[in-house]
Amino acid sequence: MCGIVGYIGKRVAIPILVNGLYNLEYRGYDSAGVAVVSDSKIYDVKCPGKVDGLARLAASKLPASNIGIAHTRWATHGVPSVSNAHPHLDCTGTVAVVHNGIIENYYSLRERLVEEGHTFASETDSEVISHLIEEKLKTKASIDAAVLAALGELEGTYGLAILHSGTPGCLVAARNGSPLLIGIGDGQFMVGSDQAALVPYSSEVIHLSDGEIAFISKEGIDLRTLENREVVRQSEQLTLVSDDIRKGNYEHFMQKEIFEQPEALGNVMRGRISTDDDSVKLGGLLNLMPKILSARRIILTGCGTSWHSALYGKYLLERYAKIPVEVEYASEFRYRDPVVDNSDVVVAISQSGETADTLAALRMANAKGATCLAVCNVVGSSIARESKAGIYIHAGPEIGVASTKAFTCQLVALSMLTIAVTRGLNPESEDLKTISAELRKLPGLMSEALQLDPFIREVAEAFYESRNFLYLGRGYNFPVALEGALKLKEISYIHAEGYPAAEMKHGPIALVDSEMPVVFLAPRDETYGKVVGNMEEIKARGGRVIAIVDHDDPRVNKMAEYIIPIPKTIDSLNPVLSVIPLQLLAYHIALLRGCDVDKPRNLAKSVTVE
């Protein structure tokens, strides 16, 4: 969730470090800091708030140096403050550490270090690392040996970048459960918690694996395990470019990503749906397809928006492939000791590929013998690398914290998975041709749906002062109701709940009055009559109805204060279109309320801690 940047090379480090932090702002943070080594001394500045403030401090107070580390912090232990911001120094001021993750045994380590004479300046768990390295340096001859010894005592997760004033030509990086990459450029190296931190100074990248530590000098990278065994790993091309993390002509990243969705859908389908026979070719799953087809059940797991995608996937797979599917919150799945074995297929869904709970759930399922797959957006991410196979959604970088294009691309990826599995189990199914043909139409239909934007702003102006929203849908659109409510609460801070429309009578209807907006997802599908009945119940209690429809109906016109028409597609693909007005509604309401839509409070883009 936090951001790490490190640099060593021939350039002045501070502008590069600060630029890296700017590129990581989308991840969410509450404070920032930077440290450099100059004349065998560590100099650092830190501040709560935005990177802009840190940039001014660093430019005025830090000496020129060609090595340094920087950090944006998202508070876990201790409030946002100068003392709690990273980097953290030891008592002697010779060791500086930036840390992502959580050190689970920090309290016992801190107590021991205090007894040994160390003085702590912060409330964080992270500070114990710098003091522990300081203690090890008393008996170890080098920073390499001291860091290895210190890391051997840590329990928990970490991504680390470390400086030692006594070894000014070395930048240390280590990973255990929190993503970390090394960028390789022309005579320079960078460390980052995200590819965005490495742009534009790196052309290649090395992904650290858990239990690895890198000692980086201007001459090269010495990569080792925590047991001090040498690791040889080839670098990969850095695919991210500067334009990928710029807003272009849009006001916000969220707006840009909403309007990129037609193109993104084309990318996720490109080369995968045959125009000759409407078959789907998922090359990444080819070798494992026999295992998938013989599975006792499929388990879909994820967090937040990805969990909503998983629920949609369950509806599809059970309807067409006739295979049992379970949907699990990754945070619950990983801890409840589920019954999973080699007859199960587990599909981990994550935009970033680094979601801590989803990664842990994947590892647990792997350990129990399940066939583990991934639906993921980020090539080279931990979930992608630790799955046996998977589907990249190719949505492109998603910078806004509230997921938009990744969600719709996940829905399309799960639709293609459904076609592939169903064709393997029931090759004669006529439904598959229809789904394939309608999938290819979606980018054009989505472009039509996005033309609703000016009207959606009018709807937002009518409701942005509301304190509560209710979103109701049935069948395929129940996951969309959940997603619409999540988008609204994430970026506008309005309380919103998504419900199956029928369940509304079992409690939430008590909340309905003349001040309650209720959004109905009401396409003319097999549940349409029931949804209209629910709409009448809300209207009878004074609720303000907003209806998302794909047809004209005089009954709905009479009940709804606002009708939002979307293009018509088949029932199973309607969610890919029906979510568009909900994304736009959340976006415009948040703007009208003066909220930061790209960086909502208390949230982070990539949740890499529990």
Look at the block and give the residue holding tokens 């309290």. Answer: 107
376 in catalytic set: no
State how beta strands 517-521 and 468-473 pair. Answer: parallel
Distance of CA 359 to the CA centre of its chain: 12
User: Strands of 158-164's sheet, edge to edge?
Assistant: 88-89, 95-100, 158-164, 171-176, 212-217, 220-225
The active-site residue, picked from 2, 47, 372, 595, is 2
Task: Identify any residues that bridge with 217 across adjacent strands, giving them in sequence order.
Answer: 220
Please give the sequence-ordered ranges of beta strands (E in DSSP) within 557-606, or none if there are none. Answer: 562-565
Query: How far apart, in whole angstroms, are the C-alpha atoms of residue 276 and residue 284?
Result: 21
Set 136, 314, 489, 605: catalytic member: 605
> What is the side-by-side order of every strand in the sheet holding 325-329?
325-329, 297-302, 344-350, 371-376, 389-392
State the Cα angle at 594 between 588 and 597, rounded to 5°.
60
Strand, coil or helix: 219: coil
Beta-strand ranges (E) seen in 140-273 are 158-164, 171-176, 181-184, 189-192, 204-207, 212-217, 220-225, 236-237
Token pair for 372: 């583990």
On whether the CB atoms of residues 112 and 72 are closer than 8 A, the answer is: no
DSSP state of 240: -
Residues tagged active-site: 2, 605
